[in-house]
Amino acid sequence: MIKILLVDDHAVVRSGLKMLLNTNPEMEVVGEASEGNEGIKKALKLQPDVVVMDLSMPHGKDGLTATTELKKLMPKINILILTMHDDEEYLFRAIQGGASGCILKSAPHNELMAAIESVSAGDAYLHPSAQKRLMEEYLGSLKQVGSDTYNLLSDREKEVLTLIAKGYSNKEIAEKLVISVKTVETHKGNLMEKLQMKTRPELVEYAVKKGLLGYGI
């Protein structure tokens, strides 16, 4: 039996959800609350398996704040955010706050039950459009990290790159860094390979964009 606490500022919504969820023989609504503070107190008292938390509750503590505070008090509690906002900002903030999942109020009843079962089992649940958005965000972050290859350069390669951009020859760089010309050429070859560049002008342009000369474009 999955014990559920409903936290929503609309009594009609709570009543409808309670009737719906109690038709499932494996679920039981053990309590209700109309705002975040009351939800936290009820959760501490009733020890539910899942808290279905409304995101927007204008009177009292909102769902995001309540979720964050409740997770600190009950780290193992599973919280499913119920929201009308199909917005990635709300989604990410809910997850950061400790929510186990997020589902839209417009979702079909069977999807809501599936979401509750999922978070109760310790899994995460996101409605389909949120899954897509989260994946796009993740892939975008990977692309951004992958595109900045400057961090792949060693400290010495960065020094060589900066001096090349400043117009020093290989011999002058060798003298300045107290290394051989052959070593300079090796560093130059390595950084060109890492940056996927073939010419000296490309290196200079890259260095300028990175602000290595004290200014960028």
Let me know if residue 215 belongs to a domain.
no
Q: In the block, which residue shows the tokens 């020859």? A: 169
Q: Residue 146: what pLDDT?
A: 44
Percentage of the chain beyond pLDDT 70 is 86
64 lies in the same domain as 90: yes
Question: Region 150-158: what's the mean pLDDT?
Answer: 86
Same domain, yes or no: 29 and 107: yes
Is the pLDDT score of 140 beyond 60?
no
pTM exceeds 0.75: no
Does the residue 214 lie in any domain? no
CA distance linking residue 68 with residue 40, whole number of Å: 10
Total domains in the fold of the chain: 2
Among the three residues 93, 118, 140, which one is the final residue of a domain in this structure? 140
Could you tell me which residue, 150 or 41, shows the higher pLDDT? 41
20 or 132, greater pLDDT: 20
pLDDT in tens, 23-47: 999 999 999 999 999 999 999 999 9
The sign of the CA dihedral 119, 74, 31, 40 is negative
Q: Do both 97 and 10 map to the same domain?
A: yes
Q: Which domain holds residue 164?
A: 149-209
Question: What's residue 215's pLDDT?
Answer: 47
CA dist., res. 19 & res. 172, Å (int): 81
118 and 179 belong to one structural domain: no
Q: Note whether 12 and 87 are same-domain residues.
A: yes
Residue 41 lies in a domain: yes
Mean pLDDT of 126-144: 59
111 shares a domain with 46: yes
SS3 call for 50: strand
Specify the higher pLDDT residue, 89 or 161: 161
Least confident of 56-65, 88-97, 166-175: 88-97
- pLDDT over 60 (residue 142): no
Say if 13 falls within a structural domain. yes
Q: Which residues contact 67 (CB under 8 A, 6 or more apart)?
A: 53, 79, 81, 94, 97, 98, 99
Closest C-alpha among 21, 13, 74, 8 to residue 43: 74
SS (H, E, C) 141-188: HHHHHHHCHHHHCCHHHHHHHHHHHCCCCHHHHHHHHCCCHHHHHHHH
Same domain? 47 vs 129:
yes
Residues 129 and 169 placed together within one structural domain of the fold: no
Same domain, 59 and 135: yes
2, pLDDT greater than 90: yes
Q: Evaluate if residue 127 carries a pLDDT over 80.
A: no
pLDDT, tens digit, 9 for 90 and up, residues 173-217: 999 999 999 999 999 988 888 888 888 888 888 888 888 876 443
The structure tokens listed for 8 are 């929503």
Q: Could you tell me if 136 and 153 lie in one domain? A: no
Alpha helices for the chain (secondary structure H): 11-21, 36-46, 63-73, 88-96, 109-120, 128-147, 155-165, 170-177, 181-195, 200-209
